[in-house]
Amino acid sequence: MLETSLSQQFVPIILFLCAIVVTFSLVAMAFYLRQLRELADRLTLHLIDVANVDNQLSVVAQGVHGLTLELEKMRETIAELESKPDEPA
């Protein structure tokens, strides 16, 4: 029989354990990468929602500005009508 040293007998076991550790690490990394991708997708959706709200607020602000201009015109018209003397019918 060929005699092998004790350290050479454990080489296959050590390599097998290293393969298990590497496999576990790769599976864990894939899991965390998937979690990060899902988090990035949710963050993207929230950012899109914020952008939509910002656009809606911009439209509302433009509408309020337009109403303010119309009210100012109405005030001017009312002031002009009040300043004119009443005409007899």
Can you tell me the distance from the alpha carbon of 16 to that of 9, in angstroms, rounded to the nearest whole number?
A: 12
Q: What is the pLDDT of residues 30-47, one digit of tens each?
A: 999 999 999 999 999 999
The reply to whether the predicted model has a pTM over 0.75 is no
Dihedral sign for Cα 78, 82, 83, 86, please: positive
The full length of the chain comes to 89
- What is the pLDDT at residue 3? 67
Q: What is the pLDDT of residues 5-34, one digit of tens each?
A: 777 888 899 999 999 999 999 999 999 999
